[in-house]
């Protein structure tokens, strides 16, 4: 091997590395666009059964079916916005005019009631909290700053929402658009395999996302009933937020439970802790646990067995690994990504023994 061949090999390797680096840098810069496309693809999968129903059962033309589906989705988004925005604005005004010292006094009052209650039961938690200097570390002035950042994020949300709806419209109108784009990267003799894989993925993920919507709806109804029974302020908003957090496997329900407990306690602020705040919080927590039991033993097994065709233990391990590698985002996308990978493996590596074992139910 002479020096010219060696130099050419090194230059080619450097060119490949530079190309990969530029590609990763480019993807990093357009990450927002990638997120919009992914969300639009999810919405198109959710809307796909509606369009099929309108076209086959009600004889709608394709464009009319897409427009009707988009209007339905927009109505749902507007409903969510109308639910949350007034609450955020109201709380924003309160926080903008908030006397931080008053807020601190109110929370300290709740803290005193809690410590008084536990001291009746010979549990000295006040000394423990004082020793940890937790109270001095609380920064109540950060609350208005957090809200200001949230308002700034809402403006970006408007741009993102328009982009997602625009892309979703064309994904729904031309279901072959994404498929045609992927065909460019596949050899001609493998195009039929890819087409079959895409159709199978669309079918499985459509059922999966619709199942998730059903799961959230069941939890939302349960949480709303529980919170309304005990007269918790903003019960519908709290119930929806806690149900939505359930999309984050394992961690989401814990966050939702903690949020529901905190908001239940603060909604009864000023009342007697032992006779009102504590019993109400315990009853709400019991209602939350009942909702989680229904979800874990009925809703989730139904979704996984009838949509993605995977065993619950298999799903648990996939979510756990994705969480360790990519955090909460990985846990959210773990199931649909794993399902898509299984379908592709079955189509292209059907004779492999491991693939056969993993995809026997597909």
Alpha carbon distance 336, 267 (integer Å):
38
Report how far apart the first and last C-alpha atoms of the chain are (Å, whole number).
51
Indicate the pTM of the whole model: 0.64
Question: Under a CB-based contact definition with an 8 Å cutoff, are residues 315 and 333 in contact?
Answer: no
Asked if the model's pLDDT at residue 342 lies above 90, the reply is no
The 10s digit of each residue's pLDDT in 231-244 is 887 788 788 888 88
Among the residues of 174-190, which ranges form H helices? Answer: 177-183
Which residue, among 279, 276, 340, has the nearest Cα to 309 in the 3D structure?
A: 340
The 10s digit of each residue's pLDDT in 45-59 is 778 888 888 888 888
> What does the pLDDT read at residue 308?
75
> What does the pLDDT read at residue 290?
92
The 10s digit of each residue's pLDDT in 7-46 is 777 788 888 888 888 988 887 888 778 778 878 887 887 7
Asked if the model's pLDDT at residue 215 lies above 80, the reply is yes
> What does the pLDDT read at residue 46?
79
Strands of 36-135, DSSP E? none
* Residue 21 vs residue 162, higher pLDDT: 21
Question: Under a CB-based contact definition with an 8 Å cutoff, are residues 290 and 219 in contact?
Answer: no
Cβ neighbours of residue 85 closer than 8 Å, sequence gap 6 or more? 154
Q: How confident is the model at residue 94 (pLDDT cuts 50, 70, 90)?
A: very low
The 10s digit of each residue's pLDDT in 100-141 is 555 556 566 666 666 666 665 544 555 555 555 544 555 545
DSSP string, 50-77: HHHHHHHTS---HHHHHHHHHHHHHHHH
Sequence spans of domains, the chain: 1-175, 187-362
Asked if the model's pLDDT at residue 92 lies above 60, the reply is no
* Mean pLDDT across the chain: 76
> What does the pLDDT read at residue 84?
64
Note every long-range contact of 150-153, with CB atoms under 8 Å and residues 24 or more positions apart, other chains counting: 150/88, 151/92
Asked if the model's pLDDT at residue 360 lies above 90, the reply is no
Asked if the model's pLDDT at residue 359 lies above 70, the reply is yes
| Diameter of the chain measured on Cα atoms | 89
Question: Under a CB-based contact definition with an 8 Å cutoff, are residues 36 and 157 in contact?
Answer: no
Cβ neighbours of residue 201 closer than 8 Å, sequence gap 6 or more? 339, 340, 343, 344
From the DSSP assignment, how many helices (H) and strands (E) are in the chain?
Answer: 15, 0
Question: Under a CB-based contact definition with an 8 Å cutoff, are residues 249 and 300 in contact?
Answer: no
DSSP string, 111-129: HHHHHHHHHHTT---HHHH
Task: Give mean pLDDT, residues 258-279.
Answer: 77
Alpha carbon distance 325, 323 (integer Å):
5
> What does the pLDDT read at residue 223?
92
- Residue 328 φ then ψ, to 5°: -60, -40
- Residue 311 φ then ψ, to 5°: -70, 145
Burial of 49 (0-12, 13-18, 19+ CB in 10 A): middle
* Token pair of 107 as six digits: 């929370």
> What does the pLDDT read at residue 330?
77
Q: How confident is the model at residue 184 (pLDDT cuts 50, 70, 90)?
A: low
């Amino acid at each position: 091997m002479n020096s010219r061949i060696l130099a050419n090999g090194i230059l080619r390797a450097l060119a490949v590395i530079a190309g990969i680096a530029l590609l990763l840098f480019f993807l990093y810069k357009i990450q927002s666009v990638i997120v919009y496309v992914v969300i639009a693809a999810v919405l198109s999968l959710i809307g796909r059964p509606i369009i099929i129903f309108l076209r086959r059962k009600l004889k709608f033309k394709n464009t009319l079916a897409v427009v009707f589906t988009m209007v339905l989705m927009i109505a749902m988004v507007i409903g969510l916005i109308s639910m949350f925005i007034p609450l955020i604005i109201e709380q924003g005004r309160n926080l903008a005019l908030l006397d931080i010292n008053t807020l601190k006094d109110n929370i300290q009052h709740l803290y005193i009631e809690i410590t008084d209650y536990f001291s009746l039961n010979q549990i000295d938690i006040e000394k423990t909290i004082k020793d940890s200097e937790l109270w001095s570390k609380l920064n109540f002035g950060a609350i208005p700053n957090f809200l200001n950042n949230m308002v700034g994020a809402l403006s970006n949300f408007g741009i993102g929402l328009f982009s997602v709806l625009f892309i979703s419209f064309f994904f729904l109108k031309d279901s072959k658009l994404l498929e045609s784009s992927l065909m460019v990267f596949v050899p001609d003799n493998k195009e039929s395999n890819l087409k079959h894989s895409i159709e199978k993925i669309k079918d499985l993920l459509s059922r999966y996302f619709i199942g998730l919507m059903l799961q959230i709806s069941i939890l939302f109804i349960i949480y709303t009933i529980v919170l309304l029974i005990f007269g918790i302020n903003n019960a519908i908003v709290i119930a929806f937020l806690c149900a939505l957090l359930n999309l984050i496997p394992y961690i989401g329900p814990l966050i939702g439970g903690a949020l529901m407990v905190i908001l239940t306690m603060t909604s009864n602020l000023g009342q007697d802790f032992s006779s009102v705040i504590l019993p109400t919080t315990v009853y709400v927590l019991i209602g939350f646990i009942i909702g989680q039991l229904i979800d874990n033993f009925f809703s989730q097994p139904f979704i996984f067995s009838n949509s993605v065709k995977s065993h619950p233990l298999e799903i648990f391990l996939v979510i756990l690994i994705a969480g360790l590698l990519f955090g909460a985002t990985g846990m959210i996308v773990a199931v649909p990504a794993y399902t898509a990978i299984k379908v592709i493996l079955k189509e292209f590596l059907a004779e492999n023994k491991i693939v056969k074992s993993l995809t026997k139910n597909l």
